[in-house]
Structure 1
Amino acid sequence: MSRFIVFDVETPNRYNNRMSAIGIAVVEDGMIVNEYYSLVDPEQPFDYFNTRLTGISEETVIGAPTFPELWEKIEPLFSSGLLVAHNAVFDMGVLKKCLRDYGIDWRPYVRYICTVQMGRRLLPGVSHKLNDMCDHYGICLNHHQADSDSRACAEILLHYLDEGADVRQYIRTCSLNK
């Protein structure tokens, strides 16, 4: 495994079934080789909590692509490597719901790695919240900004790989059909 597509999403409301932003960092051969960021028009109302947390609102996403428009651009990237996220159950769940709700047929399942789950095995006894792991490794973080969060997750992954982690034992599968 030498190519990882590390991503993070922000959501507009408590339903966690749409994206308001996505950040992607591509890790290849032990380094971050590409990054991508986009706001996303979720076509849903924003909750005050989410806007306060992320700084993204209805006004912020005016003119941003909807998920189907964005997917045309990012699908080749998502198809080009193993997906990775910090607390991947959340990000994979949002991706799955977006694909399902917009009727986008991508794959029946996708393989991914969760850096929280990796960290719990590799570094037991410490907090694996993204901001705590960034403090641990000295990684800059502008938390709850999808581009910063995806880059931070990629850097955490690189630390785990440098420390000798074998990613094969952390690969999980998410069904996109259910």
Structure 2
Amino acid sequence: MAVVGPSGAGKSTLMALLLGFLDADRGVAEVPGVVSWCPQEPQLVSTTVRENLRLGDPEADDERLREALRDAQLGAWTERLDVVVGTGGAAVSGGEAQRLAMARALLRADHASLVLLDEPTAHLDEPTAAALRQRLRERLAGRTVVHVTHRLDEAAEADLLIEVRDGNVRVRKREAV
């Protein structure tokens, strides 16, 4: 499903609720035991690519790490597992940091029943974003995916569209998108 709406409408609050960071004021939000999350602002630690990725799955071997990198459109990084990304990811571009965070989330998604993607293509050019979305559809097929985006073309690809606006939530199925 895609979640759209203007800045300040509550999309991040919805994500925080789904992550269990906030409690619902009304109703019930049931959060699964394992959630995979790719945040809008990637959080990388000053260690190697390998160790940053293993935050998603500590048991992942190098081949699974390479597969996740390829899926996240970082195929050129498959032989850079020992590269140190620097404090806060200072040694990588914004798009590279976003895709490293996506690769980590994909590793976690192998064990999760809910995948949350907060603006995962914000720092990417359109061809890279399109290739990433295609690979995500293939890799995450059958899972519940919540994709927050400002890109209407991305939202149009979702089975369900949730529009958050002026404190209201409106849900539409793909046919009406």
More strand by share: 1
Task: Give the TM-score normalised by structure 1.
Answer: 0.27
Instruction: State the TM-score, normalizing by the size of structure 2.
Output: 0.27
